[in-house]
């Protein structure tokens, strides 16, 4: 928020679907809604994890039980533009915002139902590390090529 | 478990899809898998809630923010036959096992991917109560008719 | 529920603290409360897991990352007597209800704040299996001795 | 991360307990640990919510079921310095980083066990709105005075 007085106008406009090429379909759960009747702000991060890791697993880029390198999360963030609410389904749009030697920044938007405008936009940064030593390792060429397909 | 020595053979065989007429499609989440790499036993109950309440809301039988009567959960249970695991999708089969004046017993089976045999079977009992007094109230005729469509 | 008309009187009276010798102190979370403003029925199972596994780890009976035998959950259940609610703390009372060659049945009651009477009572059955083959293995003597201290 | 090569040195040093005056004791749960055996990055946000809202409720500044004004979350973020892990308890340190007409920015650090250095540091921004219209409303004088006690 750049201004305490005018939070809605001072912030960048919400993203639309056209800003993304990769989409993942997600479902919401009864427990996502908190006492205020809308999706609790924490759940958005669970959906980010689910969208990105689901894609990595299906692309053969991650085997959570066996991969020798794993992505540790070093920073996350989210801006909330509007409400999401069970039982409405959610679509996640995924892009890669920055790609380093060992790290990747995912940018994810969540769209409720058929809406074109994002209800929330977030990011998370994975640093790839050796599963045992937890020291950074370079992103493999195969993985890098996949990430570049999602680059903005 | 009726025998401590032979848990797998002494238990009833897992249900198959043919035992259900109502199905709900659900997705799994990264956080559903615990440190053993499979869906934690708690998540099954979250899927039961989601399947049943999602159906109630879509049928117009429940408006969580406004309904004057709400279903309080008085008992739940689950038997686990096999593993479920993110990112595999899950189908919930729903039946009504008993229907009282104020209460309904839902019986739910969870099927991983395209499998015919349930990975888990559970139940939960809703007692309908007045939202404010929390005293039992009779199930309405409209709701009762819907429940009877799912009766075994 | 043995009667649909009189759920409160037909059920066994809630347990009191005197039925337990082992207690674990737990805290509740904002997200535990659902849209009805009380702890969602699913959270109780998360507290059961937390109370029992926390005790196993502190007693040196479980190392989730390395133990060669792990406890798989084969059945769980819970009866709800009253409401729990964030931010009230919860105490879990733990007992062992049955001890087989490879399996143990934990019986757990949840007490809100300083209350003497349980808000909920549940159980879960662990079958000990080899971490890799997932075949049942006998409970070790050291573990069995600890379980017997909690036997009813 | 300002540099992909040296993530640990390029980031600000983790906060220590001396940067906070208000602390809240929290417990971790079995389900907090993901398949990598440490607290999943999403759980940190659940602890932020719990620490701040627990304090607001105990101070009489929030009644989730009845308050006419509620705090909507418009932005959140977290940087992860080290691992947290069930069953270790966690202490949350809370400060107020900015206080506007209708909004407040909470800054929270999570400390594992007795550690002096934060495992994670995050923030969230509440905009106070009318519960029904969801339009921003000014923070009351009573609330503002409490927030100023936590100001940095």
Predicted pLDDT of residue D10: 62
CATH architecture of B33-149: Roll (3.10)
Q: Which two tokens stand for residue C114?
A: 């300083």
Nearest to C27 among D27, D57, D65 (CB): D27
Reply yes or no on whether the pLDDT at D51 is more than 80.
yes
B4, C49: Cβ pair inside 8 Å? no
- C-alpha A3: how far from its chain's center? 26
A9 burial type by CB count under 10 A (0-12 exposed, 13-18 middle, 19+ buried): exposed
D33, B34: Cβ pair inside 8 Å? yes
Report how far residue C82's alpha carbon sits from residue C96's, in angstroms, rounded to the nearest whole number. 23
Task: Yes or no: say if D142 and D61 are a contact pair by the CB < 8 Å rule.
Answer: yes
B35, D33: Cβ pair inside 8 Å? yes
Predicted pLDDT of residue D24: 98
Contact residues, chain D, for A29 at CB < 8 Å: none
Q: For chain D, list residues whose CB is within 8 angstroms of any CB belonging to chain B.
A: 30-31, 33-35, 37, 40, 42
ipTM metric? 0.92
Tens of pLDDT along B118-146? 999 999 999 999 988 989 999 999 999 99
Nearest to C37 among A30, A35, A42 (CB): A35
Task: Yes or no: say if D106 and D78 are a contact pair by the CB < 8 Å rule.
Answer: no
Omega within 30 of 0 (cis) for the link into C87: yes
Reply yes or no on whether the pLDDT at B72 is more than 60.
yes
Tens of pLDDT along D66-97? 889 999 999 999 999 999 999 999 999 999 99
Q: For chain A, list residues whose CB is within 8 angstroms of any CB belonging to chain B.
A: 25-31, 33, 37, 46-47, 49-50, 53-54, 57-58, 64-65, 86-87
User: Cβ–Cβ contacts within 10 Å for residue D9, how many?
Assistant: 9
Confidence label for A10 from pLDDT (cuts 50, 70 and 90): low
Nearest to D37 among B31, B35, B42 (CB): B35
Q: What is the edge-to-edge ordering of all strands in the sheet holding B69-80? A: B22-26, B90-99, B103-112, B120-130, B69-80, C69-80, C120-130, C103-112, C90-99, C22-26
DSSP A20: -
Q: Indicate the average pLDDT of chain C.
A: 92
Confidence label for D61 from pLDDT (cuts 50, 70 and 90): very high
Contact residues, chain D, for B37 at CB < 8 Å: 35
- Residue that is written with structure tokens 């005729």 in the block: B141
* Closest-approach residue (CA) in chain D for B86: D35
Report how far residue C121's alpha carbon sits from residue C140's, in angstroms, rounded to the nearest whole number. 28
Contact residues, chain C, for A29 at CB < 8 Å: none
Q: Which two tokens stand for residue D23?
A: 């602390």
User: Cβ–Cβ contacts within 10 Å for residue B22, how many?
Assistant: 15
Q: List the domain boundaries for chain C.
A: 33-149
- Residue that is written with structure tokens 């894609």 in the block: A55
Omega within 30 of 0 (cis) for the link into C76: no
User: Cβ–Cβ contacts within 10 Å for residue A136, how many?
Assistant: 21
Residue A113 falls in which region: left (phi positive, over 0), alpha (psi -120 to 50) or beta: left
Chain B nearest-CA distance from A117, in A, is 23
Confidence label for A63 from pLDDT (cuts 50, 70 and 90): very high
Q: Which two tokens stand for residue A67?
A: 């991969």
Reply yes or no on whether the pLDDT at B6 is more than 80.
no
Task: Yes or no: say if B111 and B119 are a contact pair by the CB < 8 Å rule.
Answer: yes
Tens of pLDDT along B31-70? 999 999 999 999 999 999 999 999 999 999 999 888 899 9
Chain B nearest-CA distance from A146, in A, is 19
According to DSSP, the β-strands at B22-26 and A103-112 are unpaired
Omega within 30 of 0 (cis) for the link into C17: no
Predicted pLDDT of residue D98: 96
Compute, in degrees rounded to 10, the torsion defined by CA atoms C41, C42, C43, C49.
130
User: Cβ–Cβ contacts within 10 Å for residue C96, how many?
Assistant: 18
Report how far residue B134's alpha carbon sits from residue B128's, in angstroms, rounded to the nearest whole number. 9
Predicted pLDDT of residue C152: 87
Chain C nearest-CA distance from D113, in A, is 14
E strands, A101-147, are 103-112, 120-130
Contact residues, chain B, for D37 at CB < 8 Å: 35
Phi, psi of D19 (to 5 degrees): -80, 0
Tens of pLDDT along C85-137? 999 999 999 999 999 999 999 999 999 999 999 999 999 999 999 988 989 99
B30, A54: Cβ pair inside 8 Å? yes
- Angstrom CA distances, B22 to B124, B149, C132, stand at 16, 9, 36
3-state secondary structure chain D: CCCCCCHHHHCCCCCEHHHCCEEEEECCCHHHECCCCCECCCHHHHHHHHHHHHHHHHCCCCCCCCCCEEEEEEEEEEEECCCCCCCCCEEEEEEEEEECCCEEEEEEEEEECCCCECCEEEEEEEEEEECCCCCECCCCHHHHHHHHHCEC
D30, B40: Cβ pair inside 8 Å? yes
* Closest-approach residue (CA) in chain A for B63: A37
Chain C nearest-CA distance from A37, in A, is 5
Three-class SS state of C98: strand
Q: For chain D, list residues whose CB is within 8 angstroms of any CB belonging to chain C.
A: 25-31, 33, 37, 46-47, 49-50, 53-54, 57-58, 64-65, 86-87
Non-local (6+) Cβ contacts of A80 within 8 A are A41, A44, A119, A120, D72, D73, D74, D75, D76
Nearest to B49 among A30, A57, A65 (CB): A30
Contacting chains of C (3 CB pairs or more, <8 Å) are A, B, D
- Residue that is written with structure tokens 């650090």 in the block: D109
C-alpha atoms less than 13 angstroms from C-alpha of A22 in its C-beta half-sphere: 20
* Residue with the larger pLDDT of the pair D131 and A20: A20
Q: Which two tokens stand for residue C41?
A: 């029925």
């Amino acid at each position: 928020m750049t201004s305490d007085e005018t939070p809605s106008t001072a912030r960048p406009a919400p993203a639309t679907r056209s800003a993304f090429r990769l989409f993942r379909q997600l479902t919401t759960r009864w427990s996502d809604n908190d006492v205020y009747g809308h999706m609790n702000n924490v759940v958005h991060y669970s959906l980010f994890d689910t969208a990105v890791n689901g894609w990595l697993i299906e692309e053969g880029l991650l085997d959570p039980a066996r991969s020798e390198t794993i992505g540790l999360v070093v920073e996350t963030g989210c801006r909330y533009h509007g409400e999401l609410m069970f039982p409405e389904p959610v679509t996640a749009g995924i892009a890669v915002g920055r790609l380093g030697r060992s790290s990747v920044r995912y940018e994810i938007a969540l769209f409720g139902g058929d809406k074109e405008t994002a209800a929330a936009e977030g990011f998370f940064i994975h640093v790839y590390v050796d599963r045992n030593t937890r020291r950074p390792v370079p992103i493999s060429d195969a993985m890098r090529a996949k990430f570049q397909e999602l680059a903005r």
